[in-house]
Amino acid sequence: MNEIVLGDVSITRVMEYFGSVELSPSTFFPDSSDDAWRRNEDWLAPDFWDPAADVCVSAIQTWLLRSAGRTILVDTGVGNHKQRPHAKVWDHLDTDFLGNLSRAGVSPEDVDLVINTHLHNDHVGWNTYLDDGSWVPTFPNATYLMPRRDFEYWDPDNGHVPRRGRGNENVFEDSVAPVRDAGLVELWDDGFDIDGALRLEPTPGHTPGSSIVALESGTDRALFVGDMLHTPLQFLEPEVNSCFCVDPDSRGRRAVASSAGPPTPTRWCSPPIWAATVARNCAATEKGSPSRSGRRSPG
């Protein structure tokens, strides 16, 4: 079980995917230099980069938080059976994510709150599942928190035209609109207090409404950074955007990088926890080691 406790909040990693994203560093991070990857190869490989295949390695996962008596999910991955014609790795994915969630002790009906840090395809997928040909909310008793700026940016009723790429094609229709139509969405603007330990903060860059979740409980602190960082190399070079950044503003990434300090094996843990920085000893996360190969969903 990938679980740690920070203050009064327990944190469990629920994996959906770990492996190649079929993008070379120069494609995924066009602003980065070959030299930067080579200089840092000794710690980027193999968890974040496969130099032999020249592909980036990534984890898609949900953070399960138990805080103030509620069950909370931070980001919901890619989802199953989603049609993603411009995101080949995620097209019609079929994993046992809900089985992994169940093995963490949570059924879909138990979830009180779903947080989508932003509305990219790999952060909203399990918002819905395919039921007899229709996309319906996976977590029927949850409130889904979404940043209003992203919601309005991708809402087709607002005449959305993608600024960069078409990887988010179909996403609003199959993963956002169904929960909106079910009356489960709450939009927020300039920060949102989830409870006494957790707060959503808008963070400039990546997408118009991209956000992070800040945890502060007792003496413990953590940031769930969404896509402010796609690779720990961005700790060293926070001005480097990914090819998925529709907003090139790097202020949010620079703020996260400076608050977390330089990456170390301890801070990033091993295997990579990828989407969070935990500012204390992370040894507990080493208990559950995900597989590096294929489209498996380790539990």
* Segment near Zn ion (CB under 5 A); pick from 97-105, 138-146, 151-159, 219-227: 219-227
Of 14 and 60, nearer to Zn ion (C-beta) is: 60
Neighbours of 84 (CB within 10 A): 23
Q: How does DSSP assign 20-60, residue by residue?
A: E-S--HHHH-TTS-HHHHHHTHHHHTTTTEETTTTEEEEEE
The CA-based angle 205-251-66, given to 5 degrees, is 70
From 20, 35, 2, 4, select the one nearest 221 (Cα to Cα).
4
Site for Zn ion contains 120 (CB under 5 A):
yes
Tell me the window of 15-23, 85-93, 168-176, 224-232 that interacts with Zn ion (CB under 5 A).
224-232
Q: Nearest approach, Cβ of 128 to Zn ion (angstroms)?
A: 18
CB closer to Zn ion out of 84 and 120: 120
For residue 192, the minimal CB distance to Zn ion (Å) is 19
Q: Is 84 in the site for Zn ion (CB under 5 A)?
A: no
CA atoms within 13 A on the CB side of 130: 10
With CB under 5 A as the rule, give the number of residues binding Zn ion. 2
Q: Return the residue of 16, 75, 227, 247 that touches Zn ion, per CB under 5 A.
A: 227
Whether 9 contacts 295, CB under 8 Å? no
- Name the residue nearer to Zn ion (CB basis): 174 or 227: 227
Give the nearer residue to Zn ion in terms of CB position, either 243 or 279. 243
> Closer CB to Zn ion, residue 66 or residue 120?
120
| Rounded CA separation 31/147 (Å) | 27
> In the complex, what is the shortest distance from the CB of residue 244 to Zn ion, in angstroms, rounded to a whole number?
5
Cβ 54 to Zn ion shortest distance, Å: 22
Position 149 contacts Zn ion (CB under 5 A) = no
Q: What letters, b where the CB count within 10 A reaches 16 and e where it falls short, cover 104-117?
A: bebebeebbbbbbb
Residues that bind Zn ion (CB under 5 A): 120, 227
